[in-house]
Amino acid sequence: MKQKEDNVLFVGIDLGTSRSSICASNGAKEWIESYVGWPKDFISLKVLGRPVLFGSEALQNRLSLELCRPLEHGIIKEGIDRSEEAVREIIRHLVEISRPAAEQKIYAVVGVPADTLKTNKLAIRRAVSEFVHSLMVVSEPFAVAYGMNLLNNALVIDIGAGTTDFCIMHGSIPTEEDQKTILTAGDYIDNQLYSYLNEKFPNSKFNKNMVRQFKEQYSFVGKSPGEIRVELPVDGKPVMHDITNEIKRACESILPAITETTTEMIARFDPEFQVKIKGNIVLAGGGSLIRGIAAHLQEALKVIGSCTVVSVDDPLYAGSLGALKLAQDMPVKYWESL
Amino acid sequence: MISMIFRKRTHRLKESILKGVFEENLKILGKPPFRISERMPLSAKKISLSFLVILLFILGHGNSLNLPLFQEKQTIASSDTKKYFQTPENPLTLSDNSINLSDAKAFLKIPGLPLSRTFGLTVKTVMIDPGHGGSNTGTKGKMGTKEKDITLDIAKRLKMRLDKYGQYNVILTRENDVTLPLNKRVALAQSYKADLFVSIHINYLPSRPTNIIETYYFGSPSDDTTLKLAELENADSQYRMSDFRKIIEKIGNTLKYQESKKLAASIQKSLFLNSSKEDGNVQNKGIKTAPFLVLLGVDVPAVLAEVSCLSNSKEERELNNETHRENIAHYLETGILDYLNKGEASYEAKRR
């Protein structure tokens, strides 16, 4: 099934709200934060020295940039003038850092949230097709499942920043009924944490970007791994704050919706195969890095019987690696007719 | 041996999944299903050829014996087609069904003005109803575009546009992809005390390569097709027989009827006038009456606009384009505003 064409570079892209990653058949493997920034004026352009900045570099220089995080809930934000342009820039950048050889054709598989409206799949196609020769769009959790060879009797839960995507695999391409997207995901945790911290420390100064960094560094559910203390300025002076309870509350706030949707998806599946699926639940995406989340979900799902929940080894690249595997396995005749 | 069988099975499974992925992407692009030309073995070719010769021979005899082999099929097909696509004898186009003011004049002796203005009534709450939702997908185009998604998107855009005026409290009956029966939609309009109700839908005319625009208000069905459409749209009403009396009592609401008719005419005119500039082939089916329960249930001027047609492939592609959906929202906005400021606004949608 694998293509042996030297003049083709296969790439798998996971286009995420928070992070986007690319894996290519030449071994390239990169990720960036899904931010794009354009210098605000000619002075910023002169200082920064480039017409466009990406990821963490764009975030660091955000005061000199017109900053855009173009994907909301995993889809291109509509009505925002530069969103589609920003997605194009992210894709162009990702393709560039995958180092395609001159004259090499690029065949790409791009992962998008499971429930993405078709209009958005088309918008993503438009943004990507400029930089690749042939392109296929698949759902993110499906790409993860394919990459891990979970083709039958498995449930993949991809907890991203904008969305949590569910996908049941049952030996064929998942239909709409096998997939579901909810908006309770990483960004939701950020908002909760931000409001909890504001409530507890009204005199301290912090922003959403700092809150997101706290979450990424300290997130946990269930038993606390120890006291979590962070430095926040109060009246300009650095002061240590204990945020253990707030981190726990914010991270656990996404669990009821995930448990409920998991139960609902399993319940509507063929009863004969439900036991097999319960024994094969896989967490992917950045949210799977929350300490204790797999064990906590496994415990919460006991109401529907014994379940096994595990997290993928490499959540940052699981989606793009799966997409790359799909790209490599896809017969040439399919690529050429798209 | 077992591992070899397992590997083969996995290989077959992957092949079918990869084909599925490919076909899904063809669908997104609106391309027809892919056929892979594969070489047919010589023996298979010979068998097919012999079969074809025998078939032709039998058919030839059939015809000479006057067997109505094809004739009958054609008759069935044509009668089906005729039944399904019969155009109404007097289609209610805007020109011959545009607002007949005689009823209103007789009632109020004031021509031209909507009752809202005559009685100094203000419109504060506008309820927009994106048709279908959740498990009720509505119609579906060949590329897989669902009516429920498009209606929701257009409704959100329309809300954003109307919100900009700061004068109206614009509420959507649903803001997400959820199943919402008709009785709940009506209940929402009542609980929010809506002053206007606009339901957005997309048409589907199988095998007819046209794009039509039509707007309905409550009344007896204009023709068989409208009756069928109303039956279809009323299917998930979830009204009970015990509600029947209340429903029937509402039929005599003359003021609502007149105002709904005017609102329908304003919306239809704006939709058609502006859409025809983009697509010269779009057909104006005018305003029509149909017994849609959702229109009967609400006590205020209420219309159901079929703003586009998903069975038309070109239109389906267009509906997947953000600009096109924004334009439709704009035309709806213009129609609604024109109704509210009768005679003062232009039907021509100006780019804002």
- Report which residue type is found at B202: I
At residue A88, the pLDDT reads 85
CA Rg value for chain A: 21
Q: Are residues A141 and A194 in the same domain?
A: no
pLDDT for the residue numbered A103: 82
Nearest in space to A117 (alpha carbons), one of A78, A82, A150, A155:
A78
Residue (of A145, A89, A83) closest to A281 by Cα position:
A145
Rounded to whole angstroms, the Cα distance separating A249 from A263 reads: 22
User: Residue type at B118?
Assistant: T
CA B163 to chain A, closest CA, distance in angstroms equals: 15
A136 neighbourhood in chain B, CB within 8 Å: 21-22, 25
B222 within 8 A of B285, measured Cβ to Cβ: no
Give the count of beta carbons closer than 10 Å to the beta carbon of residue A336: 11
Q: Is residue A47 part of a domain?
A: yes
Comparing CA positions, the residue from A81, A118, A90 lying closest to residue A16 is A90
The Cα A224–Cα A246 span in angstroms is 11
Confirm whether A179 is domain-assigned.
Answer: no
- Same domain (yes/no): A140, A233: no
What distance in Å separates the CA atoms of residue A265 and residue A242, rounded to the nearest whole number?
A: 38
B92-340 in CATH: which number? 3.40.630.40
Domain ranges of chain B: 92-340
pLDDT of residue A73: 58
Q: Chain B residue closest to A336 (CA)?
A: B22
Q: Distance (Å) from the C-alpha of residue B274 to the closest C-alpha of chain A?
A: 21
Mean pLDDT lowest for which of A291-300, B45-54, B225-234? B45-54
Q: Which residue has the higher pLDDT, A114 or B60?
A: A114
CB contact under 8 A, B29 and A125: yes
Instruction: Say what percent of chain B tops pLDDT 70.
Output: 63
Residue A107 sits in a domain of what CATH number? 3.30.420.40
- In this complex, the residue of A121, A137, A331 whose CB is nearest that of residue B18 is A331
Contact B10 A151 (CB under 8 A): yes
Specify the pLDDT at position B151. Answer: 94
For residue A78, which residues of chain B lie inside 8 Å, CB to CB? Answer: 322
Helix B2-29 and helix A315-329, axial crossing angle in degrees, nearest 10: 90
Residues of B in contact with A172 (CB under 8 A): 13, 16-17, 20
CB B126 within 8 A of CB B320: no
pLDDT of residue A79: 45
Q: For tokens 């950020």, what's the residue? A: A190
Q: Which residues contact B162 (CB under 8 A, 6 or more apart)?
A: B126, B168, B170, B333, B336
> Of A252, A279, A308, which residue constitutes the final position of a domain?
A252
Residue A152 resides in a domain: no
Q: Which of A11-15, B268-272, B298-302 has the lowest mean pLDDT?
A: B298-302
Positive or negative torsion for Cα B248, B250, B255, B258: negative
Cβ <8 Å between B17 and A151: yes
Using only the alpha carbons of chain B, give its radius of gyration.
Answer: 26
Torsion of CA A242, A246, A251, A256, to 10 degrees: 150
DSSP labels for B72-115?
HHHHHHHHHHHHHHPPPSS---HHHHS--THHHHHHHS--S--H
Provide the shortest C-alpha distance from residue A173 to chain B (in Å).
5
A61 part of a folded domain:
yes
Q: What's residue A89's pLDDT? A: 87
Q: Report helix angle A186-200 to A208-218, nearest 10.
A: 110
**Residue B352 pLDDT > 90, yes or no?**
no
- Angle of helix B322-340 relative to helix B147-163, nearest 10 degrees, comes to 50
Q: Is the dihedral of CA B77, B83, B86, B89 positive or negative?
A: positive
> Rounded CA gap, A92 and A98, in Å?
10
Tokens at residue B240, please?
């009970």
**Does pLDDT of B345 surpass 50?**
no
Report the distance separating Cα B47 and Cα A120, nearest Å.
48
Side chain identity at residue A229, one-letter code: R
Q: Is the pLDDT of residue A29 over 70?
A: yes
Query: In 10 A of CB A50, how many CB atoms?
Result: 12
Helix axes A208-218 and A244-252, enclosed angle (nearest 10): 90
DSSP-assigned letter for residue B217? E
Cβ pair B26:A338 closer than 8 A: yes
* Of residues B16, B25, B322, nearest to A338 (C-beta): B25
* Cross-chain CB nearest to A173 (options B21, B29, B143): B21
Residue A111 structural domain: 8-145+317-336
- Give the closest-approach CA distance of B132 to chain A in angstroms: 15
Residue of A120, A114, A119 whose CA lies nearest to A175: A114
Range with the poorest average pLDDT among A146-150, A204-208, B47-51:
B47-51
Considering A252, A283, A302, which residue would you say is the last residue of a domain? A252
Which pLDDT score, from 0 to 100, does residue B98 have?
41
Q: What's the pLDDT band for B277 if we cut at 50, 70, 90?
A: confident
Q: Which of B6, B12, B15, B18 to mutate to test the interface with A (most CBs of A within 10 A)?
A: B18
Residues A12 and A118 in one domain: yes
- CB atoms B34 and A125 under 8 Å: no
pTM over 0.90: no
pLDDT band at B299 (very low <50, low <70, confident <90, very high): confident
Residue with tokens 């997309």: B202
Q: Is the pLDDT of residue A328 over 80?
A: yes
The answer to whether the CB atoms of B22 and A119 lie below 8 A apart is no
Give how far the C-alpha of residue B94 lies from the chain's centroid of Cα atoms, to the nearest Å: 18
User: Within a domain: residue A303?
Assistant: no
CA B210 to chain A, closest CA, distance in angstroms equals 22
Mean pLDDT for chain B overall: 73
What's the average model confidence in pLDDT over A290-307?
93
pLDDT tens digits for A104-144?
889 999 987 766 655 567 777 777 888 889 989 888 889 99
Q: Do A117 and B149 touch (CB under 8 A)?
A: yes
Q: Is A194 helix (H, G, I), strand (E, B) or coil?
A: helix
DSSP β-ladder status, A229-234 and A281-284: unpaired
Query: Would you list which residues of chain B are within 8 Å, Cβ to Cβ, of chain A?
Result: 10-11, 13-22, 24-26, 28-29, 34, 36, 143-146, 149-150, 153, 160, 177, 319-322, 325
Q: Which residues contact B261 (CB under 8 A, 6 or more apart)?
A: B99, B217, B287
Q: How many domains does chain A have?
A: 2
User: With an 8 Å Cβ cutoff, are A333 and B36 in contact?
Assistant: yes
pLDDT of residue B241: 58
Question: What ipTM was estimated for this complex?
Answer: 0.79
Same-domain check for residues A24 and A99 = yes
Is residue A322 a part of any domain in this protein?
Answer: yes
Q: How far off is chain B from A137, nearest CA to CA, in Å?
A: 7
**H-type alpha helices, chain A:** 42-48, 55-60, 83-97, 118-129, 140-147, 186-200, 208-218, 244-252, 255-267, 271-278, 293-300, 315-329, 332-336
A42 inside domain: yes
Question: Is A122 within 8 Å of B26 when comparing Cβ atoms?
Answer: no
CB contact under 8 Å between B22 and A330, yes or no, is: yes
Confidence check: pLDDT of B328 > 90: yes
Q: Could you report the per-residue pLDDT of B61-108, keeping only the tens digit for each?
A: 444 434 333 333 332 333 333 333 333 333 333 334 444 444 444 444
For residue A243, which amino acid is it?
I
Boundary of a domain, candidates A197, A217, A252:
A252
Do A333 and B144 make contact, defined as CB atoms within 8 angstroms? Answer: no
Would you list which residues of chain A are within 8 Å, Cβ to Cβ, of chain B? 1, 78-79, 115, 117-119, 121-123, 125, 135-138, 146, 149, 151-152, 171-173, 326, 329-331, 333-334, 337-338
pLDDT at A173 over 50: yes
Asked if residue B259 lies in contact with residue B319, where contact means CB atoms within 8 angstroms, the answer is: no
